[in-house]
Chain A
Amino acid sequence: SQQGEEDPQALSIQEGENATMNCSYKTSINNLQWYRQNSGRGLVHLILIRSNEREKHSGRLRVTLDTSKKSSSLLITASRAADTASYFCATDAGNRDDKIIFGKGTRLHILP
Chain B
Amino acid sequence: DTVMTQTPLSLSVTPGQPASISCKSSQSLLDRDGKTYLYWYLQKPGQPPKPLIYEVSNRFSGVPDRFSGSGSGTDFTLKISRVEAEDVGVYYCMQSIQLPRTFGQGTKVEIK
To the question of whether A and B form a pair in one complex, the answer is: no
